[in-house]
Chains A and B, each alone.
Chain A
Amino acid sequence: MKFDLHIHSCLSPCAALEMSPAEIVRRACAAGMGGIALTDHQSARNTPAIAECARRAGLACLYGLEVCTAEEVHTLALFDTTEQALAMTEWVYAAMPKRVNDPETFGDQPVVTWDDDIVELEWRILAMGCRRTIPEVAAKCHELGGLYLAAHIDRTAFSVTSQLGGIPADVPFDAVELSRTADEAVWRPRAAGYAVTRSSDAHNLDDVARVWTEADLDAFTVAALKDAFRRQATTLSPKLTKF
C-alpha cells in the first residue's frame, strides 16, 4: 500500500486556499494512494471535514497535526480518529502564544466543512511554535494512541537536524520523514535505527502524493503502521529534483 502521511489543508496559513479536504482526497485517490494523513500546522480542526470526504471516497485516512515544538522542530502526530487528533490539538493550543493571527502577515486559516463551506477562521497563529518540548509532545502523542514522527529531517529549517544537530536519541520517534528532495542513500544511514518515510508535505494540490511511502499493510491504521515501522519495512518513492 502506498501512502502520503504529510498533507496540509487550507487551514495551514502557508498552504494554498485550493487545499480543500475534498480536493485533497480526489487527488490522493487519482494518484493511487491507499491512505493519507492530514497534518495541518498545530491543528487538526479540518480533520472532521476530511474524514467525511475520505469516507465518501472510500479512502483510508489518518488524522493528525504537524506540531511545531518549543525547539521549533516540526513533528507529526498521527491518529486513527479525529477525536484523538482534536484532543492533541487542544493540548497544543493550551501552549500556543495568545497573539491573534493577522491573515495579511501569515495567511488565512479557514476551518471548513467537507463540502467547502468556511465555518470560521482559526484565530491562533498556527505558523508559530508551542511551548511543549519534543519529549513532552512525544509522550502526549503516545498517551493518546498516536504515531510520532520527526518531519523532513533533511531540511535546513524546522527539522531535528537544523535545530538539534541530529535525531535526539532519547525521543521514541516511531519513524523519521524525508522530504521530497532528500537523497535516500545519504539520509538512510543518518537515520540508522529508525523507520524512514517519505511524504509530500503538500501545500498545494499539485504536490499531493507526488512522493509517497510504501509498506505491506493489512489496514491503514496506527497499529499496522507502527508494526511496519518497528520492522523498518518501508520503501520510498524516488526523490524529486526540485522541492
Chain B
Amino acid sequence: MTAAEIAEKVGGTVAVAADGAQATSVYVGDLLSDVMGHAGEDCVLVTIQNHLNTIAVCTLVGCTVLVICHSRPIPPDMAEGAAREGVAVVVTPLSQYAVALALKELPPSTH
C-alpha cells in the first residue's frame, strides 16, 4: 500500500512524500526501543512520536511509511530527515487504534 493510499484510508495528509514508499504490514508503537526491537521491514509505523529520532528508527528497521496520530505537528528537522532518508510521513487526526482499524487489510508486522 502506498503512502498516498494510506493517507486516504486514515483521513490524513502526506506531510513528506518519498518515492516508492509503501508498506506491506503495520506496527503500532510509541516506545521507540520497542519499535526497534519488534517492527519488521516494510511496515507502516503508527505512532505519536513526532521527532527526528523516529525517522532514524524507521531507517534502522526498514520502514518507509510513518503515520503520526492526533495531528501532531512535524518539526522541520523531522521533515528534512524524512525527505533525506526516503521515509514518507502521513499526519492524521485519528488515534493509533483508529488508524490500525483503518489499515486492517494489512497484516501485523513481524520482526
Residues from chain A with a CB closer than 8 A to the CB of B85 are 105
Within 8 A of A (CB), among B31-67: 31-33, 36, 49-53, 56, 59-60
Total contacting residues, chain A, CB less than 8 A: 12
Q: Are B31 and A99 in contact (CB under 8 A)?
A: no
A127 within 8 A of B: yes
In the complex, residue of chain B having the shortest beta-carbon distance to the beta carbon of A13? B56
In the complex, residue of chain A having the shortest beta-carbon distance to the beta carbon of B59? A105
Residues from chain B with a CB closer than 8 A to the CB of A102 are 59-60
Q: Are B32 and A72 in contact (CB under 8 A)?
A: yes
Q: Are A70 and B33 in contact (CB under 8 A)?
A: yes
Total contacting residues, chain B, CB less than 8 A: 13
Q: Which among A14, A70, A72, A129 is the interface contact of B52 at CB below 8 angstroms?
A: A14
Q: Are A127 and B56 in contact (CB under 8 A)?
A: yes
Residues from chain B with a CB closer than 8 A to the CB of A128 are 32-33, 36
Q: Are A105 and B32 in contact (CB under 8 A)?
A: no
Q: Mark A88-128, 1 if CB is under 8 A from B, else 0.
A: 00000000010100100110000000000000000000011
A157 within 8 A of B: yes
Residues from chain B with a CB closer than 8 A to the CB of A157 are 49-51
Q: Are A105 and B56 in contact (CB under 8 A)?
A: yes
How close is B48's CB to chain A, nearest CB, in angstroms? 9
